[in-house]
Structure 1
């Protein structure tokens, strides 16, 4: 067999079984006599057999792969989400193909189209924006199952899995008020994404006009979900005559940079200012002090996203489903024990 690819027929001949039996063993399609299965697997290993995934995909109309597109793999939250989805898929013998949109709607559209061309069985997408991402998502949804994860896209008729951002911000504000905080500043991202919009909106509604939550007095600072913005926001706050009692960050990636900048400036957290954030990433447990943060049930969200993909594959015309999970607050030293 030197110089040519080993086939199922070759494995069957070596194992002394029919080609149909060898195929059933190698594709795990139906149960086979244990002794025959052992002989087939032994022969396939000795011959170096590898499945022709493209031929199998054409035959079964499945590739056992799911595509996932995230705005940026430099954001630790998206890494955690990818890991959770990959674990869930692995439990059912499937693989994940990951694409980074690089915070670009144009790149996102290219990656989505590429994954569709690769015949993935479904797509999980974290949209770059709530609006401009819609056309590419809708185009993909016309060709196969698509689930939006963490962020929704406005008017997109696709299934969605996320957490209750308003409830998460309520947990933050209630916690700080219970600690005696009165002047509270929100440091988040501009409302290009659903998460940025919902968290900022929730903060404004929770604080109310009397607290200056319209941002006119600097009670909200909006930039990006990035380390650079966390540093910049901290410097802006340090430049004021007086620090607030507390700071609510729209994401851990902002809060970690903000905490580091405050510490470098000699500001004591939580004694001079308390800091609370959103996402509860491992990064927040490595800061000094450790970060109080809202935890999203990422594993449960990933399991639901995969479930919805499978359900959509079986029922393409089923009503659109939106699953919203409740977050919890994990209290650590940045707001005081």
Structure 2
């Protein structure tokens, strides 16, 4: 029998379950059970049905099956930016967590836009996904779209939380991560600190900034050493260019690896040596830190464990829609690399005494 790949018969008619059953020599009911994934079918019959299905080019109507079973075995995920390696790692972790149960992931990129985020969440709900994993764009403006989606399907917020949307949440302890950064730098002898991060419009940006301010008092930092923009390489470069024009602190805490990598490039271009003249620590441990020279000390978040928990919470919410909201917070761990190593100072100017030339525009 010659295989067809367009879901049609030799006469142009769409292949049906009855056609598959006839080709396999089984009843239509048996063929339907096999194609629907039921396990209570004789293995030999199941093999024949699947073989006939492949040869005929049978294509199941996913939406019709979803109406019968009330599930599509697919989960939607919306992330702020697929250019950020941390978010890419989160997507891979969720997809891996779903694969063990035979489910698939449908990914959408919101491009850091609340309007696009709302469009994508609505689209995924219309596509009848069984649930949504969302990394929200904004702490408050993402709430309406998340609330609307949660009224129709299970929703788990991941990494960031828009607190006005009553959904389950999985994240890591941002304050603890920053605490580990500052403690580590103090153990390395640092006493003056800069912070380069994002404006506090997301829960992660707000929590990391707040923790830094609480841990590093006015005697250890300056207003001009706290630079806030966005989680991007472009902002890291802009902020670093501003920083090297003045007196440097002994240590810099970055709110994300995408910021730190660009910052370290500017420091190198300006002749500021890491870690001899300034130590740099970051957040996410996204893999970017292994591309810098020296390698970047960064806070690791257990993304694989977080992803498995997100899938578990989606499944629990599907079975128990009226259950209390659950929040799962995981502990981060700092991964120490060469950007915070203790070396002899490279110049005689002393700690914090260097005034670097501005980076050319």
> Which whole-Å CA distance do the structure 1 matches of 2:77 and 2:175 have between them?
26
The corresponding residue for 1:262 is 267
Q: Which moved more, 1:162-171 or 1:15-24?
A: 15-24
Q: Which moved more, 1:317-326 or 1:73-82?
A: 73-82
The corresponding residue for 1:135 is 144
1:220 lines up with 2:229 in the alignment = no
Helix, strand or coil for the counterpart of 1:258? helix
**Deviation, structure 1 residue 120:** 0.9
TM-score normalised by L of structure 2: 0.90
**Deviation, structure 1 residue 115:** 1.0
Helix, strand or coil for the counterpart of 1:329? strand
The corresponding residue for 1:232 is 238
**Deviation, structure 1 residue 30:** 2.6
C-alpha deviations, 1:30-85, integer Å up to 9, x for none?
32112111211221122222221111111111111111111111222111111111
> Which whole-Å CA distance do the structure 1 matches of 2:225 and 2:271 have between them?
22
**Deviation, structure 1 residue 210:** 3.5
Among candidates 64, 85, 96, match of residue 105 of structure 2: 96
Helix, strand or coil for the counterpart of 1:232? helix
Runs of 4+ in 1 over 4 A off after TM superposition: none
Helix, strand or coil for the counterpart of 2:117? helix
**Deviation, structure 1 residue 291:** 0.5
> Which whole-Å CA distance do the structure 1 matches of 2:43 and 2:119 have between them?
46
> Which whole-Å CA distance do the structure 1 matches of 2:163 and 2:52 have between them?
53
1:276 lines up with 2:281 in the alignment = yes
> Which whole-Å CA distance do the structure 1 matches of 2:163 and 2:169 have between them?
11
The corresponding residue for 1:119 is 128
> Which whole-Å CA distance do the structure 2 matches of 1:311 and 1:4 have between them?
42
The corresponding residue for 2:252 is 247
TM-score normalised by L of structure 1: 0.96
C-alpha deviations, 1:177-205, integer Å up to 9, x for none?
00000111111111000000000000111
The corresponding residue for 2:4 is none
1:300 lines up with 2:271 in the alignment = no
> Which whole-Å CA distance do the structure 2 matches of 1:96 and 1:203 have between them?
36
1:178 lines up with 2:184 in the alignment = no
Q: Which moved more, 1:203-212 or 1:4-13?
A: 203-212
Unaligned stretches of 5+ residues in structure 1: none
> Which whole-Å CA distance do the structure 2 matches of 1:86 and 1:30 have between them?
24
1:29 lines up with 2:38 in the alignment = yes
> Which whole-Å CA distance do the structure 1 matches of 2:117 and 2:220 have between them?
39
Q: Which moved more, 1:315-324 or 1:98-107?
A: 98-107
C-alpha deviations, 1:250-292, integer Å up to 9, x for none?
0000000001111111211101100000000111111111110
> Which whole-Å CA distance do the structure 2 matches of 1:69 and 1:168 have between them?
25
**Deviation, structure 1 residue 208:** 2.6
Among candidates 279, 295, 317, match of residue 312 of structure 1: 317
> Which whole-Å CA distance do the structure 1 matches of 2:48 and 2:72 have between them?
26
**Deviation, structure 1 residue 211:** 2.7
Helix, strand or coil for the counterpart of 1:277? strand
> Which whole-Å CA distance do the structure 2 matches of 1:152 and 1:35 have between them?
49
> Which whole-Å CA distance do the structure 2 matches of 1:231 and 1:125 have between them?
28
> Which whole-Å CA distance do the structure 2 matches of 1:64 and 1:235 have between them?
48
> Which whole-Å CA distance do the structure 1 matches of 2:144 and 2:83 have between them?
25
RMSD: 1.2
Pairs within 5 Å for 1:59-208: 59-208=68-217
> Which whole-Å CA distance do the structure 2 matches of 1:143 and 1:50 have between them?
28
> Which whole-Å CA distance do the structure 2 matches of 1:39 and 1:272 have between them?
70
Helix, strand or coil for the counterpart of 1:211? coil
Is the CA contact (8 Å cut-off) linking 2:225 and 2:243 kept in structure 1?
Answer: no
1:291 lines up with 2:296 in the alignment = yes
Helix, strand or coil for the counterpart of 1:51? coil
Higher Cα Rg: structure 1 or 2? 2
